[in-house]
Amino acid sequence: MLYTGTDWTFATLRDCYGEIDRIASEELRLDTYPNRIELITSEQMLDVYTSHGMPISYPHWSAGKRFVSHENAYRKGLMGLAYEVVINSSPCISYLMEENTATMQALVIAHAAFGHNHFFKNNRLFREWTDATQILDYLEFARGYVARCEERYGVRAVERVLDAAHALQNQGVDRHTGSKRLDLRQEQERARERRAYEDEQFNDLWRTLPDEKTADLRKGEDADPSTGQGLPEENILYFLEKNAPRLANWEREIIRIVRLIAQYFYPQPQAKLMNEGCATWVHNRIMHRLHEKGLIDDAAIMETIHSTTNVITQRGFEEGGGPNFNPYALGFAMMTDIARVCTEPTEEDRLWFPGHAGNDDPIGTLHHAWSEYRDESFVQQFLSPKVIRDFRLFRIEDDLSQPFLLVDAIHDEQGYREIRRSVSASYDPGLQSEEIEIVGVDLTGDRILRLEHRTRPGQLLHPTDARLTLDHLSALWGYGVIIKEVDASTGAELGSYAKA
Amino acid sequence: MELIDRRPNPHGKNTENRQRVLTRARQAIQDAVRNAAAQGRIREIGKDSAVSIPADVLHEPSFHRQITAGRRHFVLPGNREFVKGDRLRRPPGGAGEGSGEGNSASEEGGGQDSYRFVLSRDEFLDLFFDDLELPDLVKREIAATTSRATSRAGLTSDGSPSQIDLGRTMRRSMGRRIGLKRPKPAELIAIEEEIDGLEACRPLSDRQFLRLQTLREARDHLRQRLARIPWVDPVDLRFRRFTPVPKPTTQAVIFCVMDVSGSMTEKMKELGKQFFLLLHVFLEKRYEKLEIVFIRHAETAEEVDEDKFFTDTRTGGTVVSTALELMHGIQAERFPADRWNIYVAQISDGDNIASDMTRVNRLMVEQILPVVQYFAYVEVSIGGSVLRGETDLWKGYKSLADATPHLAMRRIEDRREIFPVFRELFARKAQERAGG
């Protein structure tokens, strides 16, 4: 028996970790980054929330705003705190709340330090977009860099750039041209060179002729976009960093920092369903195995079941559930279902999933799913009629020109595929994000930056926000900016905003 | 696996970010603070100080779509009765589910109406009284009982243990140990081990015996040196030194003069008291070294303490000069004009016995106005003021005010006006602000 009752000590945590590790690696064949488990208080948990789970962050008022609203919600009892938060880094950091009972600590170790950790290390999206081994160092560097800039150029000046860059951070990723895994260590080297260059610039009073080295550097900095090369460009922050005519080097570096951190977070929402499903399935499996091995008592397994059940409850549409599903609920249900199809398939499953029905390798099949899919494709591939029936899913057609909503598919033979397609589409990042591109600029002429939002009638930009964001964009660009909203299918102009 | 206990880590990681929010939203928070103060009782200012500021001040914009038309599909869980082809009424609440995406987007953007801030009393009052000050506070003389502040002043070789400078102490200790060639404990251990080894094997050869002898001598020598040269010696100790520095302060006294005569209705007195309370809180917050003298008067004047001034009731006729005389008397006796900054705030309904006005005028011109830095006269008039026109006191002061800019006059008719008038009277001068 690892422990009895609710109290835990550090020795208990180590023992639990050891046993969980054994089950995870021997039975579930999980492959994880090294783990670092940190015990924190509820106040510190609020801090973690504020910085999106990042252990280090540069100072900015928006963090203070998030902190205040979280704090208010927590104080009023509107919001409970998570039992854990886990960071995609190597070592993989899991934050555990001190208030958790011994069982909850074991559960969240299994959930975060093994479930999420395995997912981070193995899922293709994370492998391609993020570099877990270097993110902690990079964040440290980013905070230091921002702090140095504040010292040198003033808090206001830095805040101005950060505000503007934050407003555009959703436009800071190369969605369509494919991912570039960042080499964050090289990033820091680059910044160092740039700073050395700036320091030299600083002595301009004493040096009238540029020596060869700085001349070369300058050439490198000012890539010439006047010919319209590289356009259209969907990564607005990247474009500004490279081409905005009036920015100082440190401002470019700050834009780059915002952009790289945004890119780091980019994959997370695209695999949330799977990530939580994977972690919940893993912790559930591990806790039951601990119980079967006689390492935890009946009270502990009851608590596990109780807490897991709470987490995986999907409220019906009348109780406010959907159209966004509880990722724990749907994720866990699908993982469990995959395991079931592998071992005890029905006729229906054999028809729908000839690939893995009855292959008797649930672990292998799950591993494959966890590493090769993201939410959209995962649902498209694995959402089974049984899960659709269990969740009693139905599809609604919402035509805003009609006074009523139409139920156009329910959980029956005709409806399964329709429903699956729609659920899958709701996880498609391509459909969720705005398609905004820089389409033109005349650097030798008026220097007005032209953008295009390709959309459909009835799906225009939020006007106030569009104007405010445009202000930020023009502040970075230094000259006028125009954004046109065009119909993607016909090319007709639907609206436009301009900032002189 | 690493297991780290972060609980003892320093708290308040987000204090700085919170402070930045306050700076950014300063104007909005200030308005909210003043509204909160206007709604509550002035005595309770800053006690329960949660303020809400509109969210748009802290709005973070981004490009996002708003769905206003078109056809979409979405899947919901929990079907019990619907079959294909059912038509449902659109849920109430405008677009409802229809623009679900639009809603969630604007929630990210700025759907929240306001942010609630809990401010400390200090923060609250700072914002509340920001850009107010006592006008023309000049340093007439540094007070005899100057206050002292401690400031860091290098190092000293003795002091209290709590002030020990560990880094320097250990650096000196290390230097001394190296300088005096204190043997390293490791050497001693090595020798002792060798001795143990030799002692264990018997019989010893001559060479071994000699070796043992030398080793024993060396050991004794090392032990002696180790004992003689301590790890940390009192001469190594360094303490942070603090020295008291005189802190120049200016002395100021403010006279609060209030008319409590019969002609002042309860409501007028209430207004007057509110004004003084505000003044009191402001002065307490801003000026550490400040005397406040409370004077109330009817046909005679008396000096009272704070409690009595704000709570006790008393009525009678009105002779303003008595109050001015008393004020001048106290000033001459306790607050000599060459060493004190003198301020007066007077509240009255403006009624005075007509025969007293010449006396009031003479007192003001000859005795009071020459010595005071600032004289604020606030007249409370509830209703009827239009009918009555200018009051005796108002007329009397008005003629003086034209010649002396440091006599300021304002009227208050309603609770709402207290704060604006207060701000006008004590607003920081524009040129001073420009000058820093």
Give me the interface pTM, i.e. the ipTM. 0.79
Chain A partners within 8 Å of B4 (Cβ):
36-39
Find the residue in B nearest to A322 (Cα). B76
pLDDT in tens, chain B (436 residues): 888 888 888 777 778 888 888 888 877 777 777 776 666 555 566 565 677 777 777 888 888 888 777 778 888 888 888 888 888 887 764 444 433 333 333 333 334 567 777 777 777 777 777 766 666 555 444 444 456 778 888 888 888 888 899 999 999 999 999 999 888 888 889 999 988 888 887 777 888 888 888 999 999 999 998 888 888 888 899 999 888 877 666 677 888 888 888 777 777 887 888 788 778 777 777 776 778 888 888 888 888 887 787 777 677 777 888 888 888 888 888 888 877 888 888 888 888 877 888 888 888 888 888 888 888 888 887 765 555 567 788 888 888 888 888 888 888 887 777 777 877 777 765 444 333 3
Q: Which of A33, A43, A313, A459 to mutate to probe the B interface, most B CBs <10 Å? A: A459
Find the residue in A nearest to B2 (Cα). A36
Cα–Cα dist B350/B268, whole Å: 11
Q: How confident is the model at residue A183 (pLDDT cuts 50, 70, 90)?
A: low
pLDDT in tens, B285-323: 777 677 888 888 888 888 888 778 777 767 777 788 888
pLDDT at A135 over 80: yes
Domain locations in chain B as residue ranges: 18-58+112-130, 161-240, 252-434
Interface touch B17/A459, C-beta < 8 Å:
no
Cα–Cα dist A276/A370, whole Å: 11
pLDDT at residue B206, rounded to an integer? 84
pLDDT at A217 over 60: no
Chain A partners within 8 Å of B117 (Cβ):
68
Interface touch A400/B105, C-beta < 8 Å:
no
Our CA-based measurement puts residue A6 at a distance from the nearest CA of chain B, in whole angstroms, of 19
Chain B partners within 8 Å of A425 (Cβ):
73
State the sign of the Cα–Cα–Cα–Cα dihedral B63, B64, B67, B68.
negative
pLDDT at A216 over 60: no
Closest Cβ opposite residue B5 in set A17, A39, A166:
A39
Closest Cβ opposite residue B78 in set A316, A415, A460:
A316
Burial grade of A243 (CB within 10 A; 0-12, 13-18, 19 or more)? buried
Chain B partners within 8 Å of A67 (Cβ):
14, 17-18
Closest Cβ opposite residue B77 in set A63, A163, A314:
A314
pLDDT at residue B8, rounded to an integer? 86
Interface touch B4/A423, C-beta < 8 Å:
no
Instruction: Judge whether A389 is closer than 8 Å to chain B, CB to CB.
Output: no
Q: How confident is the model at residue A31 (pLDDT cuts 50, 70, 90)?
A: very high
pLDDT at A421 over 60: yes
Cα–Cα dist B144/B294, whole Å: 24
pLDDT at residue B173, rounded to an integer? 93
Cα–Cα dist A370/A43, whole Å: 33
Q: How confident is the model at residue A211 (pLDDT cuts 50, 70, 90)?
A: very low
Instruction: Judge whether B55 is closer than 8 Å to chain A, CB to CB.
Output: no
Decide if B362 contacts B347 (C-beta within 8 A): no
pLDDT at residue A224, rounded to an integer? 47
Chain A segment 197-226 residues within 8 A of B by beta carbon are none
Count of residues making up chain A? 500
Instruction: Judge whether B87 is closer than 8 Å to chain A, CB to CB.
Output: yes
Interface touch B7/A39, C-beta < 8 Å:
yes
Kindly state the tokens that stand for A459. 């799906």
Which backbone phi and psi does B178 adopt, to 5 degrees? -70, -45
Closest Cβ opposite residue B78 in set A155, A321, A459:
A321
Average pLDDT over residues A148-170: 91
Cα–Cα dist A418/A412, whole Å: 10
Closest Cβ opposite residue A68 in set B18, B85, B110:
B18
Instruction: Judge whether A313 is closer than 8 Å to chain B, CB to CB.
Output: no
pLDDT in tens, A282-310: 999 999 999 999 999 999 999 999 999 98
Instruction: Report the b/e string of B76-91 with b at 16+ CB within 10 A.
Output: bbbbeebeeebeeebe
Residue bearing the bigger pLDDT, B386 or A327: A327
pLDDT at residue B372, rounded to an integer? 85
CB atoms within 10 A of CB B365: 14
Chain B partners within 8 Å of A108 (Cβ):
none
Kindly state the tokens that stand for A233. 């460009």
Find the residue in A nearest to B61 (Cα). A465
Closest Cβ opposite residue B70 in set A170, A459, A472:
A459
Q: How confident is the model at residue A470 (pLDDT cuts 50, 70, 90)?
A: very high
**Half-sphere exposure of A290 toward its Cβ, with a 13 Å CA cutoff?**
32
Cα–Cα dist A334/A327, whole Å: 10
Domain locations in chain A as residue ranges: 10-130+269-305, 313-430, 434-499
Instruction: Report the b/e string of B228-257 with b at 16+ CB within 10 A.
Output: eeeeeeeebbbbbbeeeeeeebbbbbbbbb
When the candidates are 2.60.40.420, 3.40.50.410, 3.65.10.10, 3.90.1150.10, the CATH number that belongs to B252-434 is 3.40.50.410
Question: For tokens 């609604």, what's the residue?
Answer: A396
